[in-house]
């Protein structure tokens, strides 16, 4: 009974959280480009629970841009969850994900498509060749982030590739089928091992509005990246424990000798230092353990990381089977 699905070559998934300032600029640049691409397309704007005028603007834009599709999440679920929602809903043979703020120039999309077809690869990463427009802090922290995760997790994620990438239908299906929570796509996708290529681009400045990635969200992303791919921190705790054990043994030997040789030990300083050090190491180990237990807890709850409130495609088709979808497409999304 489903209406014949229009064949869509490219889906462009764009997560948006309070992007009212940048939205008109984005449309001005993206639309002529997409229309001139020579391929059927849809733009899947994932409104990540925006509280500004973003939903209103999107609704207005959709009236004169039939290829624009709005997927609204019930609550702000985060950049990665918003992309996941978009991937779940996108229908294209190829799916491109990019930020709304024009830091990822949309002009690269046709190039990605060409590379995917000509080189017959499943994934084309957008790699930032020049990040001079980012702040020194952002660049430094990003570099450290990629290096650490490549080392810890030994996955071959391209350095300086963010979430600007093109994926084939097969790749998108593979990502959608993962049961993982809080997945960090820029590492999940390379870990899948599909044939890939890269296209370089220059990272531009945010066209308007302010960053939706405060330090707390950046830290969360880093922790999710590491705990999602590596047990190294747990082993680090073990090593710290071993090191502490060796040190304690040394202190013990010293204490026995001092006792035998009859040196009066002042004792106070060393005791305090040891107690403090051991306490700190224990708390650190407990914290690390907690991150993994937390991940397991989330996985056991199997609560979706986002809920779709509304998909303009469904309201447009007037599909009777699910007039208002209340949940994410799958329990593990
Ligand atoms: N974003 C989102 N949900 C969030 C935070 C960000 O959908 O909770 C979107 C945001 O609208 C943008 C993209 O994710 O399209 C990247 O965010 P931003 O440009 O603020 O991050 P930055 O470039 O500063 O790291
Ligand atoms: Mg940005």
Contact, 86 vs 48, CB < 8 A? no
What does the mean pLDDT of the chain come to?
87
Q: Is any ligand 1 atom within 6 A of the Cβ of residue 100?
A: yes
Q: Quick one: pLDDT at residue 264?
A: 60
Q: Is 173 helix (H, G, I), strand (E, B) or coil?
A: helix
- Tell me, in angstroms, the distance from the centre of ligand 2 to residue 211's CA: 6
Q: Could you tell me the two tokens for 263?
A: 């040196």
Q: Is any ligand 1 atom within 6 A of the Cβ of residue 16?
A: yes
Q: Quick one: pLDDT at residue 5?
A: 63
Q: Quick one: pLDDT at residue 2?
A: 57
Is pLDDT above 80 for 23?
A: yes
Higher pLDDT, 59 or 203: 59
Q: Is any ligand 1 atom within 6 A of the Cβ of residue 42?
A: no
Number of the ligand 1 atom closest to the C-alpha atom of 18: 11
Ligand nearest to the CA of 210: 1
The DSSP code for 204 is -
Is pLDDT above 70 for 324?
A: no
Is pLDDT above 60 for 332?
A: no
- Taking residues 195-200, report their average pLDDT: 95
| Pairing status of strand 10-16 against strand 123-130 | unpaired
- Taking residues 11-24, report their average pLDDT: 97
Is pLDDT above 70 for 319?
A: no
C-alpha dihedral (307, 96, 57, 101), degrees to nearest 10: 110
Interval 92-137: pLDDT, tens: 999 999 999 999 999 999 999 999 999 999 999 999 887 777 788 8
The Cβ-side half-sphere exposure at 160, using a 13 Å CA radius, reads: 15
Most confident by average pLDDT, 145-149, 197-201, 218-222: 197-201
Q: Is any ligand 1 atom within 6 A of the Cβ of residue 82?
A: yes
| 41 pLDDT tier (thresholds 50, 70, 90) | very high
Is pLDDT above 80 for 13?
A: yes
Q: Quick one: pLDDT at residue 323?
A: 38
- Tell me, in angstroms, the distance from the centre of ligand 1 to residue 82's CA: 10
> Domain boundaries in the chain?
10-230+303-332, 232-300
Interval 138-180: pLDDT, tens: 888 888 888 888 888 777 778 788 899 999 999 999 999 998 8
| 306 pLDDT tier (thresholds 50, 70, 90) | very high
Q: Quick one: pLDDT at residue 198?
A: 94
Is pLDDT above 60 for 322?
A: no
The DSSP code for 158 is P
| Pairing status of strand 308-311 against strand 68-73 | antiparallel
Q: Quick one: pLDDT at residue 265?
A: 61
Q: Could you tell me the two tokens for 242?
A: 């071993």
CA 269 to chain centre: 46
Q: Is any ligand 1 atom within 6 A of the Cβ of residue 85?
A: no
Q: Is 76 helix (H, G, I), strand (E, B) or coil?
A: coil
The structure's pTM equals 0.82
d(CA 183, CA 58): 27
d(CA 168, CA 94): 5
| 294 pLDDT tier (thresholds 50, 70, 90) | confident
From its phi and psi, is residue 38 left (phi > 0), alpha (psi between -120 and 50) or beta?
A: left
Architecture of domain 10-230+303-332: Alpha-Beta Complex (3.90)
Higher pLDDT, 62 or 304: 62
d(CA 328, CA 309): 9
Q: Is any ligand 1 atom within 6 A of the Cβ of residue 79?
A: yes
- Taking residues 29-56, report their average pLDDT: 96
Question: Residue 95: phi, psi to the nearest 5?
Answer: -125, 125
- Tell me, in angstroms, the distance from the centre of ligand 1 to residue 57's CA: 18
Q: Is any ligand 1 atom within 6 A of the Cβ of residue 47?
A: no
- Tell me, in angstroms, the distance from the centre of ligand 1 to residue 100's CA: 7
């Amino acid at each position: 009974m489903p209406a014949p699905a229009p064949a869509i070559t490219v889906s462009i998934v764009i997560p948006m959280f309070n992007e009212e300032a940048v939205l008109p600029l984005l449309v001005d640049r993206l639309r002529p480009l997409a229309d001139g691409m020579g391929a059927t397309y849809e733009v899947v704007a994932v409104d990540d629970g925006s509280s500004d005028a973003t939903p209103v603007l999107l609704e207005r834009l959709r009236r004169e841009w039939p290829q624009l599709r709005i997927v609204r999440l019930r609550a702000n679920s985060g950049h990665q969850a918003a992309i996941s929602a978009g991937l779940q809903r996108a229908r294209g043979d190829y799916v491109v994900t990019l930020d709304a703020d024009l830091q990822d120039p949309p002009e690269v999309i046709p190039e990605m498509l060409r590379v995917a077809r000509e080189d017959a690869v499943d994934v084309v990463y957008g790699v930032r060749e020049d990040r001079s427009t980012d702040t020194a802090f952002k660049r430094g922290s990003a570099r450290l982030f990629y290096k650490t995760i490549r080392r810890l997790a030994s996955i071959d994620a391209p350095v300086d590739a963010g979430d600007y990438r093109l994926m084939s239908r097969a790749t998108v299906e593979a990502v959608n089928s993962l049961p993982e929570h809080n997945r960090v796509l820029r590492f999940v996708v390379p870990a899948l091992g599909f044939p890939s290529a890269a296209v370089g681009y220059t990272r531009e400045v945010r066209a308007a509005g302010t960053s939706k990635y405060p330090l707390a969200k950046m830290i969360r992303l880093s922790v999710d990246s590491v705990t999602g791919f590596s047990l190294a921190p747990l082993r680090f705790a073990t090593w710290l424990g071993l090191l502490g054990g060796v040190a304690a043994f040394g202190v013990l030997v010293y204490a026995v000798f001092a006792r035998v040789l009859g040196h009066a030990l002042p004792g106070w300083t060393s005791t305090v230092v040891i107690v403090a050090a051991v306490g700190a190491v224990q708390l650190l180990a407990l914290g690390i353990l907690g991150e993994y237990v937390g991940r397991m807890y989330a996985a056991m709850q199997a609560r979706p990381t986002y809920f779709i409130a509304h998909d303009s495609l469904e309201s447009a088709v007037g599909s009777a089977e699910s007039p208002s979808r209340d949940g994410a497409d799958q329990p593990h999304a």
